[in-house]
Structure 1
Amino acid sequence: MTTRALFPTLFYEGQLGDESLVEELEASVRALASDDTAGKRWSKDHGYRGYTSYASLDDLPQRDPAFADLKRHLDRHVARFAADCGFQLGGKKLKLDSLWVNLLKPGGAHSGHIHPHSVVSGTIYVTVPPGSGALRLEDPRLGLMMAAPPRGDTFVHAEPAPGTIFLWESWLRHEVMQSTAKSDRISVSFNYKW
């Protein structure tokens, strides 16, 4: 008899490998958090503990050379992940659709969600103080398990470090666990579409 694993859920963990770019990104995110009035207002109105450019700025790679450099790195990582996933893209490449920054204050979290209308989503971590909160990934079968006994791996926690890149298929439900850090956690999140 044989037991096979079918339809695996893939999760990519990589490193940016450019410490000076990580430092540039931190300075850029802090400048945006200071200057982006619309983003600060949206964050406050939606109970986001800190600042995000999610609903205010959609041109970061054109606005700031650090984000243009980041995009070039991300394009290569996403192409590798797409190949690992076996995507049949017909000679096309996945394209960056959106990219936003997150400056999460101590005590902040982001509840479970997916990224509709995208193929690959991800985050690169810029500043990760101790206790920042892991990325928690949910078994995509969870809603279908009905009468199944509990499993030990229904949720997986991925612990980032500065320069870490996480990628996953956009339908994979995930959340940011509450930060118990004493300082800000900074990350850049993004979506790629076909």
Structure 2
Amino acid sequence: MTPTFTRRVPDGDTLARDICDQCGFIAYDNPKIVAGAVVRYGSRILLCKRNIEPGRGRWTLPAGYLENGEAPPEGAMREAFEEASASIVIDSLLAVYTIRRLSQVQLIYRAHLEAPVFAPGPESLAVALFEPHEIPYQDLAFTTVRWALAHADTPGGPFANPDIVDPKGPE
């Protein structure tokens, strides 16, 4: 028998959820987590030209969805390897961005290349190191890439969207 679900507010909750009519299982639909990094080699920043939609042909940071059971820093390292054939070292958490329309949370790290070895992976058309003044801002794939690059040289963090109140409160 194929389960059927009804959307209703479960006991003890405040939001409507899909609940199995047969067994009462609650099918939570929660945000997706993305992990990525602003990867440096010296003063230069590693960017990947996307070979997939959305944003095919535009530049981005190495980043992508976490896999089940994966810690965010591991996901950022995996994505750098998959997209840029790059081995990176995570230095610190740079930012936590919330993309409400996509129900997405992005954890962006500061990182550096272990060695200046990189090449396009299957999801990238090209991979390159850019001095900050050389970054093709007009060809960036996502707003969060622009935010992360703007935050990359700012001491402190983690940072958040410009429209999100600083969780640490006033200094």
- Asked if TM exceeds 0.5, the reply is no
Structure of greater Rg:
2
Q: Which has the higher helix share?
A: 1
TM-score (norm 1): 0.23
TM value normalised by structure 2: 0.26
